[in-house]
Structure 1
Amino acid sequence: MNKWTKGWLISGAAAMVLAGCGGGEEETKETGGKNGGETYNIGVTQIVEHPSLDKAYEGFKKGLEEAGITAEYNEQIAQGDPNNNQTIANNFVSDGVDLIFANSTPSATAALNATKDIPIVFTSVTDPVSAGLVKDTENPGGNVTGTVDLHPDAIASTVKFMADQFEGKNVGVIYNAGEQNSVAQAEAVEKVLTDNDLKMVPVTVSTSSEVKQAAESLIGKVDMFYIFTDNTVVSALESVIQVANNEDLPLFVGEKDSVARGGFAAYGFNYDDIGYEAGKMAAEILKGEKEAGELPVLPPQDLKLVINETAAKEMNITIKEEWKKEAEFVK
């Protein structure tokens, strides 16, 4: 829904003159964007704050700006609370925003629960079909589309690296079983671990405050950690890093930002890239070039092994020469 400028009040006599010459003014959307374009009102809903989601949001804004879209953003963080999440989405609908940018699976689900009319563009979603956001990634239908945060080969590549390069069979996995995004990943991770003769040792949490205790509960039971892109756990990643460092347990993660924060390694991509692609999609929708449901859901495009040298030292991991040929290193 667009915001419209108030019509001018004119006198009855002037109205008669305008009517006689057929020159009435039409209401127009508020101007002020690039090249005299419109200024759009975009509601931004994000489940929690952490670097990956924040970078996706920055990428989204960059994609819109480069497409020539001028927007006012109303950013709301749910602080991991599903009730807050739904209230935020409902308020955006009441405010009549032009588009909702949903940054995470819970955020996108709440937005879709709130409206079937306002366009929704999501990112940082792992499995939009299982989450009930779209019927099909090629033909989403309805009022929603976006970009996913799981490269088709990311889990398989990371797990193969774990199996080929490290001793030990038991892999500690911590995730929020209340997030569909995380349940889908946990199932995928367990299958790939089993295929590589590794065993998943799972612990579930419901809030970020439980993450450290969950990590500590795995001491003596696992040979390494694998923390995928679970919003609850990633928002408290430092708790797992501390345990991994203290116990010399390799910590594999689901994306590059978590490597930069202190995870040992991941086959990952940049979250600002998937946010940027979501921004370009939003621009097409706002310009009227496409309906949301006509735009295919897009996966990340680039995947690379990233290793944190400082984390390797903290976890007592020796960097192998063969890794140097393939990996990108951060400190």
Structure 2
Amino acid sequence: MPLGAVALAMAAMTPASAQEKSVAVLAIVEHPALDAVRDGVQAALKDAGYESGKNLKWQYQSAQGNTGTAAQIARKFVGDNPDAIVGIATPTAQAAVAATKTVPIVFSAVTDPVAAKLVPSWEPSHTNVTGVSDLLQLDKQIDLIRQVVPGAKRVGMVYSPGEANSVVVVKEMKDLLAKRGMSLVEASAPRSVDVSSAARSLVGKVDVIYTNTDNNVVSAYESLVKVGQDAKIPLVASDTDSVKRGAIAALGINYRDLGEQTGRMVVRILKGEKPGDIKPETSSKLELYVNPGAAEKQGVKLSDALIQSAAQVVK
């Protein structure tokens, strides 16, 4: 058999998984949690046999916290016509959904995809969109706040009003805290550079500061930690990586696992499933991280029981 015919025959026998696929990944900003999602997606693709440089065209870009940049990148990715676009965090997922009604989109690390208008409900969307949410039960977050600061009445929250997920959390926290005889004190930080001044505005008004997975806040968490230490205001987070950066405690999702869960969903699409037939998912695997050293610097002492129940104690 001529060499050309052999090559053609071998190509015909090549499994679908070995044929090159294209995945474009867009994140709103780079910080440890979102970076872990990105790496988890790539790891799940590799586990399924899709490897960058071999049979996978992998593109990744960060919008550096700018929604206008996110829209530009999303349009560029749509023009490349990949097999799937992964939008990490609400603003970038929204940018991708606004840019195409045909290219498959998988969102990740989006708190409330319905409120963000990415999908009409938690059922299969019958559109080009599905994904994985990092939605947390806020009752458990309030329980943690009370464990860290037992007498807390006034809970401060620094957040970006431009992030749909944060607006949803603020509204729900207000209602839940009120039922427990507590109150929420808001401080708006539209940009990462506003986080420090927003935190300082809470000094003297709150007993504790809680942060959700707001990307502007998480990307500038060290500036929040400085205020917490200077003013002796305890910081409780929902992003476990923030504990390594100076939060006292966090009950949150393992974002590497969330990325792998997202990646497995992308694999299903690469193998032929339609995103609109795949029900959006959440992660039920929560981990408690504590940082006794940060607690001391912020004027509180953690109970032995809380420390012993932690998946990780940051030294």
Q: Is TM > 0.5 for Structure 1 vs Structure 2?
A: yes
**Correspondence for 1:72:** 57
Q: 2:216, 2:146 → 1: CA distance? A: 26
Q: Aligned to 1:324, which of 296, 302, 307?
A: 307
**Displacement, 1:133?**
0.6
Q: Does 1:230 align with 2:214?
A: yes
Q: 2:307, 2:199 → 1: CA distance? A: 29
Aligned pairs, how many? 301
* Pair member with larger Rg: 1
Of 142-151 and 316-325, more deviation after overlay is shown by 316-325
Q: 2:204, 2:244 → 1: CA distance? A: 26
Q: Aligned to 2:90, which of 78, 81, 105?
A: 105
Of 52-61 and 301-310, more deviation after overlay is shown by 301-310
Q: Does 1:52 align with 2:33?
A: yes
Instruction: Report Cα offsets for 1:170-197 as digits up to 9, x if no partner.
Output: 1110111111111111112222222222
**Displacement, 1:36?**
6.8
Q: 1:150, 1:284 → 2: CA distance? A: 22
Q: 1:130, 1:240 → 2: CA distance? A: 27
Of 106-115 and 138-147, more deviation after overlay is shown by 138-147
Q: Aligned to 1:87, which of 46, 69, 72?
A: 72
Give 1:117's aligned amino acid: T
For normalisation by structure 2, the TM-score amounts to: 0.90
For normalisation by structure 1, the TM-score amounts to: 0.86
Q: Does 1:267 align with 2:251?
A: yes
Gaps of 5+ in 1: 1-24
**Correspondence for 1:61:** 42
Give 1:163's aligned amino acid: R
Of 314-323 and 74-83, more deviation after overlay is shown by 314-323
Are 1:252 and 1:265, in contact at CA under 8 Å, matched by a contact in 2?
Answer: yes
Give 1:159's aligned amino acid: I
Q: Aligned to 1:298, which of 276, 281, 284?
A: 281
**Match of 1:124, SS?**
strand
Q: 2:68, 2:144 → 1: CA distance? A: 39
Q: 2:180, 2:49 → 1: CA distance? A: 47
Q: 2:303, 2:196 → 1: CA distance? A: 30
Structure 1 residues 1-331: aligned runs within 5 Å: 37-70=18-51, 71-151=56-136, 153=137, 155-163=138-146, 165-288=149-272, 290-328=273-311, 329-331=313-315
**Match of 1:97, SS?**
coil
Are 1:104 and 1:125, in contact at CA under 8 Å, matched by a contact in 2?
Answer: yes
Q: CA RMSD in A?
A: 2.0
Q: Structure 1: which 4+ aligned runs deviate by more than 6 Å?
A: none
Are 1:116 and 1:142, in contact at CA under 8 Å, matched by a contact in 2?
Answer: yes
**Displacement, 1:223?**
0.9
Q: 2:269, 2:19 → 1: CA distance? A: 13
Percent of residue pairs bearing the same amino acid type: 37
Are 2:17 and 2:271, in contact at CA under 8 Å, matched by a contact in 1?
Answer: no
Gaps of 5+ in 2: 1-7
**Displacement, 1:141?**
2.0
